[in-house]
Each structure stands twice: as structure tokens, then as C-alpha cells.
Copies of this chain bind each other. A is one copy, B any other.
Amino acid sequence: MYIGIDIGGMSIKAGIVNENGDILAKCAVPTPKNDNKVMLEAMLEAIEKAMAEAGVKKEDIEAIGIGNPGVVDREKGVLVEAVNIGYTDLPVREFLQKHIGPVPVMVENDANCAALGEYYKAENSKNFVFITLGTGVGGGIIINGKLFTGANGAAGELGHIVTHFEGRACSCGRRGCWETYASVTGLIKTTEEHRHEIKGIAPNEEISGRTVFDLARKGDKDAERVRDMWIEEVAIGIVDMVNIFQPDCILIGGAISKEGDTILLPIIDYVNKNAFCSERLTKPKIEISKIGGDAGIIGAALIYKNSL
């Protein structure tokens, strides 16, 4: 049995996961802020609650994995930082091994955990690219069945490729990164830029990632046009990923992916028309994530298994 921890801004989720990636029990505790010691104790509390719920004993645990919303030190088993939560150099391996026993404790970036979780629930894929559309555009890469983290562990920042030379300012310091257009934040910005053209938006209405999707569903052609501009921005980067990786599957996640075929079908069409790929070759499947929020727990739990 494996334990996966997904650290989020609001809660720490712990799950008991079997080797197939099925969650047998899970629970959550609130995420403490700015306190290393309380943070470690909260993680232990979440683990112990999940273990109690599943009736799992310490000796049944094969490995523990933690997905961190920030930088990790895999060799030392330390969560180096999580800017939004306010801890630094959290020695989780040392702490958990002291309280739970001498099991492997693995640490990984949270987007990589989500990619790994999705990978274990996808079928027949060895080369797999996961793209998550949220506040930013995150990602994770599986190559020959293994999580790919590059030479320094920081690979897979797929949102930080420039698609718009000298375009929108990005949090990374560059201009025109894919995520400044293809993220939900980018969609909101594009909607704001075009709000005067969309009659369905009331003067003081706050724009969200759903605004143009909801209006388009009601038949608003201007909203539909803005929605489709955003879908094209997503598709451009996905074709880039196809041309670089030619994976067998590209999976799209993030809350907005629940829009399903409204997003997926035009992306597939765009990829078929634009990917650099001989007609004689198989093109990657492009799909929408089906697991969603639990992918981080599943992936964290299976980091150790994937590392073997």
C-alpha cells in the first residue's frame, strides 16, 4: 500500500493508494501557514487519519510520496519551498521516517505528481504529456513510462514557452509565454480585452473563466468567437508539444477541462491540421482528464513505484 500527500493552499490531502492507482481512503486537513513544525505535524495527522480510515498499519506501507506546490530536493527528501504557503526546507523524509518507520519517502513537484497520477490511470501509454489549464499552464512529461524531470529536476515547465514574441508579461519574467494566453488567467484577460464586443456581459460583471463558455452556450456569437480564440491558443501549444514529443497521448486537465468536447473537438481538429507529422504516422490521442482532483494524490503515492 502506498500513501500519497497532495499539498494545496487550502488543504493537505492524504490518500491510501494501491499499486493500480486506486484510492482506498483519503482525508484532508487544513494547510497551516508559515510554520515548518506545524506543517509537518499536519501532514502526519492527515496520513494517520487516512490510515485509520483504511485500516492500514505502518507495516503495510511500501512508500510515501509528497507533491509540493514548489521546488523539492529529491535526494534529501526536503520540500525546498512553497512560496504561497510559507515554509522553507521542510525535512519531510526525516520527519516521516521518524514517526512512521523506515519506508521510502519521495518528494516531487505537484504538477509532476498530477501527471504521474493521470499516467497510471491512462491506458496503453508510455510517452505521455499532461497539460493542466488553470491559473497557469502546468505540465508533466512521462517518457518510456518514467516521469521525466530533466537533469536538475525542474523539467516540464510547459507553460513557459513563448508563443507570442513580445506578448503579454509573464510571471516568469519573459513576455508572451504560452500560459499568459492559454491559462484560465489568460482567458479572463482575453475576455476583458474583448468585453466591449460581447453584449451579454453586464457593465460591472466580473469576468471568470466560465463567462464566454456560458454565454456561447446561450448562443452569443461574440462570446463564442472569444472562446474560440482561447481554444486556438491552447491548441497552438498542444501542436508544439506534439511536434516536440510525438507522445501517444496528450491529456488535458484543470477545472476548465470539464468543458469537455467544447474544448477537445476543436483542439483535435487543429492538431490534425497543423501537427508536423507524415500522413503515414499515428498521431497522438488527445483526451480530457477523467480523474481530476485526485491525480495529485495518486501520483504522489506512486512516485516510488515509478522510480524503480
Contact = CB atoms under 8 A, between A and B. Distances in A.
A243 B157 contact: yes
Nearest to A174: B274
Given A71-B280, A152-B277, A244 B165 contact: no
Given A151-B127, A151-B248, A165-B164, A280 B243 contact: no
Interface of A is mostly: loop
A246 B236 CA distance: 22
Interface in A259-294: 273-274, 276-278, 280-284
A143 B181 CA distance: 29
Contacts of A174: 239, 274
A219 interface: no
Nearest to A283: B152
A257 interface: no
A55 interface: no
A240 interface: yes
A167 interface: yes
Nearest to A278: B71
A140 B232 CA distance: 27
Interface in A149-192: 149-158, 160-165, 167, 172-174, 176, 181
A56 interface: no
A156 B152 CA distance: 21
Interface of A: 71, 80, 126-127, 141, 143-144, 146, 148-158, 160-165, 167, 172-174, 176, 181, 236, 239-240, 243-248, 273-274, 276-278, 280-284
